Structure 1
Amino acid sequence: MSDTATVFNQHTAARPAAGSTDRPPPVQHICVVGGGTAGWMTALMLATSAYGPRLKVTVLESPQVGIIGVGEGSTPWLRGFFDGLGIEEAEWMPACNATYKAGITFEGWSTKPGFERYFHPFASMLDNMTMHQFVDNVHARLEGADVHAHPDRFFIAAALARQGRGPRAQANFPFDVWYGYHFDSTLLGQFLARKAVERGVTHTARHVTQTLLNERGDIGHLQLDDGSRLAADFFIDCTGFASLLIGQALQTPFVSYAENLFNDAAIALPTPLTGAIESQTTATALRHGWAWKIPLTNRHGNGYVYSRAHCSPDQAETELRAHLGLLDADVPARHLQMRVGRMSQIWNRNCVSVGLSQGFIEPLEATALLFVQRTAGAFVEALEAGDLGTAAQARFNEDMRTRFENTRDYIVAHYKTNSRTDTEYWRANADNLHLSDSLQGVLMTWLSRKPLAAGLKQGRFGQGYPIVSWYALLAGMGIFPEGDDLQPPTPHQARHRLDTVDDFIRRSAMNFPDHRALLADIPPRVGDKTLQLYLW
């Protein structure tokens, strides 16, 4: 099977459970504490498990606690979530001001001539026609040949974003692009809440005043602000960075990633939508972090993720306003603090933490909702297997630890490979030596001019992201011999005709509509067999 097909299969596997079982559930009542996108997504996945209405699911949502809601992007896994629930894009996307996302453009992370920006594409089956040319040229350039090896030229997703096209092809073009979305996270949480209640989830609007443990040390019940108590067999902590259950009540240790991910704060600032609606997130390097730009149907979501150790919140806000041309504008900004890392046990006793309560890796690759989906999906699998014992808990925690660390490594690689020298922030990131063995394996293999494929496939390093992502990152940042050291290519090194690649990408892109036009008339998706036809 091709590498791209492997990516697709991994994405399609992360779907809510289907079917039913005659076995009684191992627990009768699960309480999800906290709403928002994390809480309601988890509740929906529990409510649509194989146990159906025999499993009681309650969402306890405090009316006193605000939701961290901004313009947000997703990975392609979210598509599988909605498909699995049978919810059409034409229903949920307009309700959440959502747009399509073909990938992420990185601006200004590299100072290498010709590599000042690059696009991280989401996979497509069309990549099978151009990936080998890209990889061959990458290795020829690593060997010192002056050949074109910038990723943007080789992938259909990059062309779609460049041209303002939506990543859903016309019906007569049976090749899929595995896309993500941009959306208003507050509106998405509200939409999921409505769907969850429709599917039998109980919604209780009360504030937790105390979490009481039983004689075994498990969570027994919650004391509420009206004097009542809420008991359940199992609890899901979706209380955000407060980690009310997993952290405060169960005293689960937190594992910080601060030594290699410096950013610990963010500022959000919306701006009006002007011009075309892009099908990409833009991540622009600033002096002490990076700025996001996320297109919604009604506005742009903007923000600045930065390190408080390198600049103050006021300095960061001034820099963001200057970046957006809003120094004199009376537009309020929201300041947020981030705790980057993970819980040492994401499942502890009779509690699983989901969302910000379990941990957070900064939003550079839009992995927050991905971890909600992965965590809730893994717990539903354990639940449906009828095994919530210590062995299942240990396997779950080890899987989550690995997923967090693999994602962390890919994010760290962006900072480690930057070539900016304008501030101490960027110099400290480039000089960072707190790298995992896995990430060191990726970088050492690349710098030794060896292919990454074998190490990735054998699991020796770089797990969690596919080959195309690692090659796009390292080539896109221009991690090659300097221009003066490049030599004219040999006939073998120059064997690929890039005009043929250009023509293939150009003609393929013609089958994808303008993004704004696609959003105005979103076709049905549920039941679409295009993806499956080209995977099996």
Structure 2
Amino acid sequence: MIRRIVIVGGGSAGWLTAGLIAADHQGTPLHITLIESPDIAPIGVGEGTWPSMRDTLRRIGVSEADFFRECDAAFKQGSRFNRWVDGSDHDYYFHPFVLPQGYGEVNLPQQWQAQHPDTPFADLVSFQPHLCVNGRAPKQVVTPEFASVANYGYHLDAGKFGVFLRKHCLEKLGVHYVPDNVVGISSHDNGDIAALQTQTHGALEAELFIDCTGMQSLLLGKHYEVPFISQKHVLYNDSALAVQIPYPADDYPIASQTSSTAQSAGWIWDIGLPTRRGVGHVYSSAHIGDDQAEAELRRYISATGGPQDIPSPRKLSFNPGYRARFWHRNCVAIGLSAGFIEPLEASALALVEMSVAMVSDELPATREAMDIVARRFNDAFTYRWERVIDFLKLHYVLSRRRDSAYWRDNTAAVPERLNDLLTLWRHRAPSRNDFNRIEEVFPSASYQYVLYGMGFRSEYTQPQAQQAAQADHYFREAAALTRKMLGALPDNRELINHITKRHHA
């Protein structure tokens, strides 16, 4: 029987794993131990989440107000992409978290092209880009915790998030904590991991081991030598420079979207937290040197109201890709130990959430059942990693930028799966039929936002004049909701201040 789980590694991935499994299995004989090296600092760069994090935090049992207060959290209502299409100053589009008004009821892209081709697609079919531009929060003061008026995720301080989850896991969920270093791994005769040898706490035995050791992938990568499938031939970015930027004043507006601004050989993220901005340049080391990448980062910070004298950015290097298997024998990898792709569209924490949810929901009762669950897990997550790669690559292949080798190379390397979809979409919009798994990573609406935001046009062969009135109804509905919400929703910082001060003991 599976009675003991040992999680190796803390940080966001380790503590999300411990918290979700412990909360789901309270009152059962399951015993969860997390071992975390006191010598290894978490990477702590994943500052953006999807709306799914609201369900995850609710499931773990934390208070949203405590989360905002202790993790320096803010609202995220989607992403804004600057200079991705042609590189000009006026080039931008939104990928909001709200589905288009009338999504699935009518062919919105066709009617948008026919009726309002000069209006940005997202601005016509959704109220949310207008909330972002006007700095509005996604809910009202009276909206309950985790509920929304406009769908939202979070921006957060990843270092503080791990500490926040750890406290909750230890105080409320009975997770056993071992601050120690793993110095050896002992195996059963059949190749399963029997125990982890620690520096000072002896052997930690379990039936299931979860590898949250980050890029070192201590169990799955180093011990089991499960191959790593690099995606550098598809997604070139392998380096990042990250820095924290203070606001010029305490009441400075907090952006409620992640901004991604394309550069000569990569892009710059800009994430607003209540106390600071998190800014970083993700780039391809094959196309630009570190010094030039830092110069572009400093130019961006200066142009967006940041100080001239920023500290030296922190350099991160990574090999984009994922493991050939994520669950091998009695070991499953979650987080960076399973793989990492550049942070465009903030998929890292979302994949952690999906992984933990599946492990918890499908937790095998016995070792015999584990191999079946592992096969299903590997199938699901190979598919999900491939979808993430396709979706991120979509942003690059549609660009009309040819001003550097980076953009020219990016438009030339298209994965076959994505190429097939683009061929279909020349004559019809992305639909639910293109993504038919129950839990898709990105819905077809997300593909529509990016596809048509990037200037793609479909040549429709089926006239659908009868849908014009229906689509027009939804376009007017989105405009009416925009007016209503701009009048009713508070300023982003105003609501965050209210949440962090309320309930404060």
TM-score normalised according to structure 2 size: 0.88
Structure 1 residues 215-260: Cα deviation after superposition (integer angstroms, max 9, x where no partner): 2111122222238322222111000000000000011111111111
Distance in 2, Cα, partners of 1:61 & 1:322: 38
Question: Match for residue 116 of structure 1?
Answer: 91
Shift in alpha-carbon separation, 1:131–1:422, aligned structure 2, 3 A: farther
Question: Match for residue 462 of structure 2?
Answer: none
Question: Match for residue 255 of structure 1?
Answer: 229
Aligned to 1:246, the other structure's residue is in SS state helix
Are 2:391 and 1:413 aligned? no
Are 2:405 and 1:424 aligned? yes
Question: Match for residue 298 of structure 1?
Answer: 275
Q: Give the C-alpha shift of residue 139 in structure 1.
A: 4.5
Aligned pairs for 1:310-459 within 5 A: 310-325=287-302, 329-383=309-363, 388-433=369-414, 435-437=415-417, 439-447=418-426, 449-453=427-431, 455-456=433-434
Distance in 2, Cα, partners of 1:214 & 1:381: 27
Question: Match for residue 490 of structure 2?
Answer: 513
Q: Report the count of equivalent residues.
A: 486
Amino acid at match of 2:386: E
Deviates more, 1:253-262 or 1:149-158: 149-158
Q: Which ranges in structure 1 are unaligned for 5 or more consecutive residues?
A: 1-25, 483-489, 526-536
Q: Give the C-alpha shift of residue 499 in structure 1.
A: 6.6
Query: Which of the numbers 86, 92, 95 marks the counterpart of 2:67?
Result: 92
Question: Match for residue 478 of structure 1?
Answer: 455
Amino acid at match of 1:209: V
1:137–1:148: 8 Å Cα contact kept in structure 2? Answer: no
Q: Give the C-alpha shift of residue 511 in structure 1.
A: 2.4
Aligned to 1:397, the other structure's residue is in SS state helix
Q: Which ranges in structure 2 are unaligned for 5 or more consecutive residues?
A: 460-464
Question: Match for residue 177 of structure 1?
Answer: 150
Amino acid at match of 1:282: S
Query: Which of the numbers 131, 139, 143 marks the counterpart of 1:160?
Result: 131
Query: Which of the numbers 50, 67, 70 marks the counterpart of 2:42?
Result: 67
Aligned to 2:80, the other structure's residue is in SS state strand
Aligned to 2:156, the other structure's residue is in SS state strand
1:29–1:233: 8 Å Cα contact kept in structure 2? Answer: yes
Question: Match for residue 528 of structure 1?
Answer: none
Distance in 1, Cα, partners of 2:422 & 2:90: 18
Q: Give the C-alpha shift of residue 84 in structure 1.
A: 1.6
Amino acid at match of 2:330: N
Q: Give the C-alpha shift of residue 480 in structure 1.
A: 3.0
Question: Match for residue 472 of structure 2?
Answer: 496
1:138–1:475: 8 Å Cα contact kept in structure 2? Answer: no
Amino acid at match of 2:21: L
2:106–2:467: 8 Å Cα contact kept in structure 1? Answer: no
Q: Give the C-alpha shift of residue 112 in structure 1.
A: 8.3
Shift in alpha-carbon separation, 1:319–1:196, aligned structure 2, 3 A: same
Structure 1 residues 351-377: Cα deviation after superposition (integer angstroms, max 9, x where no partner): 010100011121101111111111111
Question: Match for residue 266 of structure 1?
Answer: 240
Distance in 1, Cα, partners of 2:356 & 2:477: 44
CA RMSD of aligned residues (A): 3.1
Are 2:225 and 1:225 aligned? no
Question: Match for residue 57 of structure 1?
Answer: 32
Distance in 1, Cα, partners of 2:119 & 2:431: 20
Shift in alpha-carbon separation, 1:155–1:385, aligned structure 2, 3 A: farther
Shift in alpha-carbon separation, 1:69–1:493, aligned structure 2, 3 A: same
Query: Which of the numbers 37, 43, 46 marks the counterpart of 2:21?
Result: 46
2:243–2:313: 8 Å Cα contact kept in structure 1? Answer: yes
What is the identity percentage for the equivalent residue pairs of Structure 1 and Structure 2?
34
Q: Give the C-alpha shift of residue 172 in structure 1.
A: 8.3
Aligned to 1:367, the other structure's residue is in SS state helix
Aligned pairs for 1:23-42 within 5 A: 26-42=1-17
Amino acid at match of 1:369: L
1:53–1:200: 8 Å Cα contact kept in structure 2? Answer: no
Distance in 2, Cα, partners of 1:31 & 1:501: 49
Aligned pairs for 1:105-144 within 5 A: 105-111=80-86, 116-123=91-98, 127-128=101-102, 132=106, 134-140=108-114
Distance in 2, Cα, partners of 1:137 & 1:278: 31
Shift in alpha-carbon separation, 1:256–1:273, aligned structure 2, 3 A: same
Distance in 2, Cα, partners of 1:451 & 1:150: 13
Amino acid at match of 2:494: A
Q: Give the C-alpha shift of residue 196 in structure 1.
A: 0.6
Distance in 2, Cα, partners of 1:491 & 1:237: 55
Shift in alpha-carbon separation, 1:454–1:301, aligned structure 2, 3 A: closer
Aligned to 1:518, the other structure's residue is in SS state helix
Query: Which of the numbers 186, 191, 200 marks the counterpart of 2:164?
Result: 191
Structure 1 residues 25-78: Cα deviation after superposition (integer angstroms, max 9, x where no partner): x31211110000100110111212335351111110001112101360101110
Structure 1 residues 237-285: Cα deviation after superposition (integer angstroms, max 9, x where no partner): 0000000000000111111111111111111011112421111110000
Q: Give the C-alpha shift of residue 330 in structure 1.
A: 4.7
Shift in alpha-carbon separation, 1:519–1:44, aligned structure 2, 3 A: same
TM-score normalised according to structure 1 size: 0.83
Shift in alpha-carbon separation, 1:228–1:241, aligned structure 2, 3 A: same
Deviates more, 1:299-308 or 1:273-282: 273-282
Distance in 2, Cα, partners of 1:499 & 1:59: 52
Distance in 1, Cα, partners of 2:285 & 2:327: 31
Amino acid at match of 2:32: V
Aligned to 2:38, the other structure's residue is in SS state coil
